[in-house]
Chain A
């Protein structure tokens, strides 16, 4: 199996984050070619469509389709926004893209700008990521100095100004419309959709928001015509070699677990959270031979999400784990929608009660009904993200909750 061929293709090169290193492996070749040949944007969209690339930010929206929402010849300023907020617990892939292959992300952002006629792009990076921010800033300075970005790039008449922008510690700002508010210098509160960012984005202008991994994949996909089906899995928890693995979608969980060195201390697998902490948990017997792709996981009642695979061994207390997950969503709820603001707190309090042996029989069903009350009743998907773990933990591990009562 080929691994680390797309966003991580530079990993083996010394100082892979420098312009020289990136160009030594063919970096900016696609970008130069596009500028030279003035490639028809529709052709690029066609290639992306054929590759099957789907958004890596969590929702899996087809990238080619998203890129058709904003037309190149639409008048006025348009924007590309790269979502490097990476806050879904368990996810740590974008950090390594920015640390080790920042130029490829810049190249992907520039291509997106070219296709949609957006001459300005913002890369919104979570404020804790000081090292990735420094690497992105250094790469940006190099690319600007080499005239690969900026005004009238390589004499093409095309302008592309990319700016790195920092967040300041708020999970909700990963949600694309909250991110736009944050970019405008406000609290990050999700906006009602529609209008979607493509119609009314940052500063009210047409904006395309894509995840870091999505954008960084683009140059390699266009260059090779392959790899649209590659995805980074951030494997954490009870494995011997936690880390990022960029592999073909559809490998089985068993294969992924093997890559990650197998179970820590030879313990038995109990369950897996396959797509970040909001993804419904699956017990060992259901996940072991599961193909790790969007559709198979959806069919099994969970999701690929951000590709964060959290591995749990037989000793894991599911009540304690769920209580911690619920604390997180309570803490990070922006408070705009009543079901989410109240529901996340209510669930967390009940879970801690159960954890401390003070729960009652009704509590378990109450949890389930609070979760259903949140599902689908909020402006953004944070509500769903808080509800899904609760429902799935109770569904698969009800007896553990009962035993605590």
Chain B
């Protein structure tokens, strides 16, 4: 039996579908993948992508294509929290390199790795559109700007 999406998820997907013409259900795929991913500890399994494909009524391969094209989708297990540190130029000019070093040594991982306790996955991001607050990072859904080592300490301490 193939995986079925739970009803609270399909209710949300129905809301996305309502934004588009009836014959353009595929338009809801990105938003649908987001809710499914959030409901699955931050990553998408093949079964879940298949379930999205079935529910929306699009080819499975088309869902895989979308999920692998966009950088915000993870196709492998990730930590409980995701940190995206912006390393693009405005942040680099304001010290993102030393923040990157600090974060990596504090978490004891490199970019694209997850801490041993499964708490944090660290990634490097392209410009997140908050260059006025450089250096900055995104922790799950939240932006944190004007980073300092102290600020990083506090952020990591607050993580559950």
Contacts and interface: CB of A to CB of B under 8 A. Distances in A.
Contacts of B92: 321, 324
A104 B131 CA distance: 23
Contacts of B45: none
A328 B126 contact: yes
A169 B90 CA distance: 18
Interface centre among B19, B31, B93, B130 (most CB of A within 10 A): B93
Nearest to B70: A168
Contacts of B28: 185
B143 interface: yes
Interface string A110-125: 0000000000001000
Contacts of A122: 19
Nearest to A171: B126
Contacts of A328: 88-89, 126-127
Interface in B90-147: 90, 92-94, 125-134, 138, 141-143
A203 B19 CA distance: 14
Contacts of A165: 19, 27, 30-31
B129 A185 contact: no
Contacts of B26: 184-186
Nearest to B143: A131
A234 interface: yes
B58 interface: yes
Interface string A65-99: 00000000000010000000011111110110000
B1 to A, nearest CB: 26
A310 interface: yes
A325 interface: yes
A130 B142 contact: yes
A320 to B, nearest CB: 8
Nearest to A184: B27
Interface string B38-73: 000000000000000000001000100110011111
Contacts of B31: 165-166
B34 A127 contact: yes
Given A127-B70, A242-B134, A324-B89, A91 B24 contact: no
Contacts of A92: 129-132
Contacts of A183: 27
A238 B93 contact: yes
Interface in A314-340: 316, 321, 324-325, 328, 331-332
B29 interface: yes
Given A324-B89, A324-B92, A95 B129 contact: yes
A234 B131 contact: yes
Contacts of B33: 168
Nearest to A134: B141
Given A168-B30, A185-B30, A236 B90 contact: yes
B6 interface: no
A128 B30 contact: no
Nearest to B20: A163
A129 interface: yes
A208 interface: no
Nearest to A94: B129
B131 A91 contact: yes
Contact of A128 (B58, B88, B128, B134): B128
Interface residues of B, number: 44
Contacts of A262: none
B131 A168 contact: no
Interface string B1-45: 000000000000000000111001111111101100000000000
Contact of B70 (A129, A167, A331): A167
Contacts of B89: 89-90, 273, 277, 310, 321, 324-325, 328
Contacts of B138: 128
B127 A89 contact: yes
A245 B34 CA distance: 33
A308 interface: yes
B124 to A, nearest CB: 10
Interface string A171-194: 100000000001111111000000
A332 to B, nearest CB: 7
B34 to A, nearest CB: 7
A186 B131 contact: no
Contact of B34 (A129, A166, A171): A166
Contacts of B71: 168-170
Nearest to B88: A89
A109 interface: no
B72 A185 contact: no
A237 B94 CA distance: 6
Contacts of A236: 90, 93-94, 131-132, 134
8 contacts: A127-B72, A129-B129, A130-B142, A167-B30, A168-B34, A186-B65, A188-B69, A236-B93
Given A183-B27, A185-B28, A234-B131, 19 more contacts: A89-B89, A90-B89, A92-B129, A163-B19, A163-B20, A167-B30, A168-B66, A168-B70, A168-B71, A169-B71, A171-B126, A185-B24, A185-B25, A185-B26, A185-B58, A236-B134, A308-B131, A324-B87, A332-B126
Interface of B: 19-21, 24-31, 33-34, 58, 62, 65-66, 69-73, 84, 87-90, 92-94, 125-134, 138, 141-143
